[in-house]
Amino acid sequence: MKRRKNRREAIIAAVVLGLGLAFSGCAGNAGNTQRSVSAAEQGKTLAGEELPCAERSGTFFDTVIGIRINDERAEELLDGCFGICEDMENVLSAQKEGSELYRLNHRNEQTVEVSEPLAVCIRRGLEFCELSEGAFDITILPVRELWDFETEDHVSAVPEDNMIRQELKRVDYRKVHVENRTVTFDSPDTMIDLGGIAKGYISEQLKSYLREEGCSSAMINLGGNVSSLGTKPGGAPWIVGIQKPFSDRGEILTTVESTDNAVISSGIYERYFRANGKFYHHILDPQTGYPAETDLNQVTIIGEDDAACDALATIGIILGREKTKKLAEKLDAPVKILFTGQNNELEWYPS
pLDDT tens for each residue of 159-178? 999 999 999 999 999 999 99
pLDDT at 44: 53
CA 105 to CA 60: how far, in whole Å? 20
Alpha helices in 213-329 (DSSP H): 306-319, 321-328
23: part of which helix (H) or strand (E)? none
In a domain, 210, yes or no: yes
Report whether 87 belongs to an annotated binding site.
no
The DSSP output letter for 18 is: T
Give 299's strand partners: 266, 339
User: pLDDT per residue over 221-264, tens digit each?
Assistant: 998 899 999 999 999 999 999 999 998 767 899 999 999 999 99
Alpha helices in the chain (DSSP H): 74-92, 100-105, 116-131, 141-144, 161-168, 198-212, 306-319, 321-328
pLDDT interval class at 50 (50, 70, 90): low
Report whether 310 belongs to an annotated binding site.
yes
**Residue 162 CB: number of other CB atoms within 10 A?**
8
Q: Do residues 232 and 41 lie in contact, with contact meaning Cβ atoms separated by under 8 Å? A: no
pLDDT at 194: 98
- Domain extent at residue 58: 15-92+197-270+300-349
Long-range residue pairs from 95-100, CB within 8 A, at least 24 positions apart, any chain: 95/62
In a domain, 80, yes or no: yes
Q: Could you give the number of structural domains in the chain?
A: 1
In a domain, 61, yes or no: yes
At residue 14, does pLDDT exceed 70? Answer: no
In a domain, 250, yes or no: yes
CATH number for 332: 3.10.520.10
In a domain, 159, yes or no: no
Report whether 186 belongs to an annotated binding site.
no
pLDDT at 43: 55
From the list 345, 202, 196, the residue with the least C-alpha distance to 284 is 196
pLDDT at 15: 37
Average pLDDT over residues 307-324: 98
In a domain, 169, yes or no: no
In a domain, 29, yes or no: yes
185: part of which helix (H) or strand (E)? strand 182-185
In a domain, 265, yes or no: yes
CA 310 to CA 241: how far, in whole Å? 17
User: pLDDT per residue over 196-218, tens digit each?
Assistant: 999 999 999 999 999 999 999 99
At residue 31, does pLDDT exceed 90? Answer: no
